[in-house]
Structure 1
Amino acid sequence: MAPETQPRGLILDTNIVLDYLLFGDPSAQQLQAQVNTALADSAQWRWIATQRMRDELARVLLYPHLQASLAFYQRTAEAILAQFDLRTHLVDTAAACTILCRDKDDQPFIDLAVAQQAVLLSKDKQVLKLKKRMARVGAWADTRVPETAASV
């Protein structure tokens, strides 16, 4: 009998979470479809996050400029956080890795991706610059969900 494989971790940085759970513009809709398709295949993917990532999302949802977006899309911060809680698997905070990002707010996402050998979805240029270094240690950073977990 073949050993059972664990689903690959999928990490969404805070801006991607906002695109996925809040915004409804065409580019966000494409991302929403990709993430929904990936997460529907629970044998391949699972969305992982830490409590710190959830706390950052809660803080960001209070920003004044996002209040207008919440109102426009008829959403509340509580509803966004409830969807986050429903869809994510909380894991322990990862130890610091040797791949350092210039933006300290992005470092916990990179640390978790490296520790879990996960896929980190981000549009942040500072994160995407680290893509090759992350790949050398079994992690992945991209703006899109890979076709399959095995392809990364």
Structure 2
Amino acid sequence: MRVFVIDTNWLLDLWVFDDPQARPLRHVLESRQAQWVATEAMRAEFERVLTYPAVQRWQRHHGGSPAHALAAFDRHHRRVAAAPGCGLRCQDPDDQGFIDLAVAHRAVLLSKDRAVLALRAPLQRLGVAVHAQAPPI
């Protein structure tokens, strides 16, 4: 089964903005054809981002809510412990946990963050595919 680690921007596309590019991934997660692993810290970050005024305005305008987005997070991920450092350092410390977790689980890492994308080649050598756009599902 394919395993994913999904950064916060992608989570917004999945569970808040209903981005058409994220719909195939949402389908495989909802149908349990793939597994998404996340830590408590990743959930806390997503919850915090849901309080941003721009995100709240979007949700109000489109009929969503932070509770709905968090429920989707809780329903579709498998909570795991934070991974030990993989030895590869990200310039953005906020993204380090996503990288370490993807390496530990040999997961596909979905991220739009430039600091993460800059590490594509070394992550590939560690068995992690990094995608900014929707990966082939």
Fold shared per TM-score above 0.5: yes
Q: Is the 1:22–1:80 Cα contact (8 Å) retained in structure 2?
A: yes
What does residue 21 of structure 1 align with?
A: 15
Mapping of residues 1-152 of structure 1, within 5 Å: 7-24=1-18, 28-32=19-23, 34-39=24-29, 42-43=32-33, 45-147=34-136
Query: Whole-Å Cα distance in 1 between the matches of residues 132 and 27 of structure 2?
Result: 15
Q: Is the 2:90–2:96 Cα contact (8 Å) retained in structure 1?
A: yes
Matched positions, count:
137
Give % identity: 39
CA change 1:77–1:40 in 2 (3 A) is closer
* Residues 54-103 of structure 1 deviation map (CA, whole Å, 9 limit, x = unaligned): 01001111112221111112111111000110011111110112111111
Q: Secondary structure at the match of 1:9?
A: strand
CA change 1:98–1:60 in 2 (3 A) is same
Name the TM-score, length of structure 1 as normaliser: 0.83
Name the TM-score, length of structure 2 as normaliser: 0.91
Deviation at 1:36, TM superposition (A): 2.7
Alpha-carbon RMSD across the aligned residues, in angstroms, is 1.6
Runs of at least 5 residues in structure 1 that lack an aligned partner in the other structure: 1-6
| Structure of higher CA gyration radius | 1
Letter in 1 for 2:78: H
Q: Is the 2:59–2:65 Cα contact (8 Å) retained in structure 1?
A: yes
Deviation at 1:37, TM superposition (A): 4.1
